[in-house]
Amino acid sequence: MRAILFAISITVTAIALSFAPLRFLIEQSMVWHMAVQMPLLVLAGWLVMRAMSRWRTLHWLAPWNRYGLTGFITALVILAYWMLPLAIDRAVVLPSADLLKLLTLFLAGLLLQHSFACSPAALQLFFVGYLVSMMTWLGSYFVTTDLRLCNAYSLATQVRTGWGIAAIGIGLGALWVGYAVRQIRTIN
């Protein structure tokens, strides 16, 4: 029951950032948009899927997401799209794009959790490695470029966001390594 309440609270928090009175946070700061709200949406999807999987209601998803491959690919396409500056700008100014962001990033979290639950470690390593490299590269590019990539945000907030995205990517990689080491120790 606590897992469900925690998942709901993360989901509500992530969605609340897109509506008044908290919307000004993502309108004023790229950090709040890309390094806070977007990861929270993915985490919310992950937690909801984890809570739902305890009830074994998702047996219909297994044939579609064999070994987690389809879920990983779909989630990475969604995440890559929302790392594009054009997509970020649209989400700030268009309510329909912001709604699409909320739905697709939540879906990415759902798919990632299901994919990790049914995939072998080698496949997880491939996709985690790809995601970590994508996030750290984007973060370093945001930090080092003199170009303002998003029209909606200042260069200073872009640099701070770059540091945040790179840190999240490295943190995710470290979490996966810890998870993999724990799984190996459990087997031995």
3-state SS class at 119: coil
Domain of residue 149 covers 2-187
Q: Which residues have a Cβ under 8 Å from the Cβ of 76 and sit 6 or more positions away? A: 127, 130, 131, 134
Q: Name the CA radius of gyration of the chain, rounded.
A: 17
Name the domain count of the chain.
1
- Is the pTM for the entire model greater than 0.75? yes
Q: How many CB atoms lie within 10 A of CB 3?
A: 12
What is the pLDDT tens value at each position of the chain, 188 positions in all? 788 899 999 999 999 999 999 999 999 999 999 999 999 999 999 999 998 876 665 666 778 888 999 999 999 999 999 999 999 999 999 999 999 999 999 999 999 999 998 899 889 999 999 999 999 999 999 999 999 999 999 999 999 999 999 999 999 999 999 988 888 888 76
**Rounded to 5, what percent of the chain is helix, strand, coil?**
80, 0, 20
